[in-house]
Amino acid sequence: MSIKAYYFKCCFWILSGIPIGLISQDRITGKSFATRSEIIAQNGMAATSQPLATQVAIDILKKGGSAIDAAIAANACLGLMEPTGCGIGGDLFAIIWDAKTQKLYGLNASGRSPASLTNEKLNALGIQRFPAYGPLPVSVPGVVDGWDQLHKKFGKIPFSDLFTPAIHYAEKGFPITELIAYYLKIYGENLSKYDGFSNTYMPNGKTPSKGEIFKNPDLAKTYRKIANGGRDAFYKGDIARTIDVYMKKQGGYLNYEDLATHTSEWIDPVSTNYRGYDVWELPPNGQGIAALQILNILELYDVAEMGFGSAAYIHLFTEAKKLAFEDRAKYYADMNFANVPVTQLISKEYARERNKLINPIRAAKSYDPGDLKAHETIYLTVADKEGNMISLIQSNYRGMGSGMTPTGLGFVLQDRGELFSLEPGHNNYYQPGKRPFHTIIPCFVTKDGKPWVSFGVMGGAMQPLGHAQIIINLIDFGMNLQEAGDAPRIQHDGSSEPTGEKMTNGGDLFLESGFNYEVIRKLVAMGHKVGFNVGGYGGYQAIMRDESNKVYLGASESRKDGQAAGY
């Protein structure tokens, strides 16, 4: 087209009332930081951190499987495709909305510490704190029993069918994404010294690079055994015996009896109401109620008036987090061993009392916990045409766990035991057969007793912060489901920990790129130590139910490889 012709065409558009900016089909709706629009579909939705796993979930839904069936199949694929975050050597938690009973169910599928690892043995070893890697921090992997429990209660198609896609990809191979190749390289450098790791994840002497086709035939065999023999094939069969032999060889304590006696636990989710919306988390040994404690404090303020990204909002959010995490450090633990005052911790009255400690213009160097009498992961969510929804999170901890890779099984064992405290009298003090404090948490939101949003934000201690920020973005700042996840995030490190470390000098505030430098200067003037962090802001997946239009909306994390898809 000539310049003259283009000039007359532009004049036509202007005279017709059509803005020239619209002609190029640029994205013109939503916030400036939004990466894309939400996904919308009628019959089902899946959002996971790997597009191939998302497509597997959709395929299961199309075959008549429930949301829970699809989640299990996707999780099995993620254990293969994203071993840097999850796998059958790890644990699982889930919140399920059952359309038939119109009720939420919670599942704690986390494992316990080895019965043979006594406190006397730890003292004899001179252990001051559990190590991050090796045989000592390994606890019972709970995910396979979790799948079994979920399927028995909510599954529709045969359990064995759920492993077919993962077995196919494990045998035939799949291309490694750029992000997973990056993480595999890092973990390979640290964990290749442990027996079995290199055989599984470095088959050609190095970890696979971006685009390389990766196969895991050992994991295919393990999945096939679970598909044919159910959860007992893992906890009482050849798999359990192989783990027992391997751990003894490595000088570990997890044994066959620990696996054979493992059970998951159905639990009731707990909630707080935030400006008319019920936000649901699972009670400890996880950290989910920290998000509820943060929200209870934030509800005392007009957050919407403060505005997203303002110094006032970021300061308030950070101080509320500090308060909640001091309670997290003191109280959160396995409730079969410790008295955790959940009702008090998430009460509105307690939030009002704790809020009195916040200085509106100055960052605190430290807080004491309330006086009461009582690290990488994957997250996925799926919804089906019957209205069932599942919020599921699963992890090895520290990405690839302990590095312990049992011979010929194709997966690593988790290192959750690292999160125990060795301080006598502490709620989270190590004991044999006890579940350690857990970081991974699923979330669910209902409105007037009906499902609204199923979501999660993976990433160690970032998770409660991520949950609270998503809720605030949706409710206070009016963002849509994708915008709520794309918005730049606030992270605070350095709070006291359930392992015994204490917060000193106020910790460190990290702000993702996208916050105004004038705001950062104000925060520094208020006493916050603002730092730079290239990662660690979590990974988000979400599904929203639009009851008026009878559709689902899906969103996926722009910082990961994820995909939301529907049909």
**In the numeric block, which tokens belong to residue 175?**
């291309």
Give the whole-angstrom CA distance, residue 531 versus residue 537.
13
Listed in order, strand segments (DSSP E) in 434-494 are 443-447, 450-458, 490-493
Length of the chain: 567
CA dihedral (492, 493, 499, 505) positive or negative:
negative
How far CA 387 is from CA of 149, 474, 482, 543, 551, in Å, comes to: 20, 22, 21, 12, 10
**Is residue 561 classed as helix, strand or coil in its secondary structure?**
coil
How far CA 347 is from CA of 25, 77, 292, 341, 350, in Å, comes to: 49, 39, 9, 10, 5
- Asked if 419 and 499 touch (Cβ cutoff 8 Å), the reply is yes
DSSP assignment of 375-433: ---EEEEEE-TTS-EEEEEEE-STTTTT----TTT--PPP-GGGG-B-STT-TTB--TT
147 CB-near residues (< 8 Å, 6+ apart): 72, 75, 76, 92, 159, 162, 231
- Asked if 457 and 466 touch (Cβ cutoff 8 Å), the reply is yes
Longest Cα–Cα distance in the chain: 88
**Is residue 29 classed as helix, strand or coil in its secondary structure?**
coil
377 flagged as catalytic: yes
**In the numeric block, which tokens belong to residue 205?**
């002497």
181 CB-near residues (< 8 Å, 6+ apart): 207, 208, 209, 210, 212
Residue type present at position 6: Y
Indicate which residue of 200, 222, 377, 381 is catalytic: 377
Give the whole-angstrom CA distance, residue 452 versus residue 288.
18
Give the whole-angstrom CA distance, residue 155 versus residue 518.
52
User: Which amino acids are annotated catalytic?
Assistant: 377
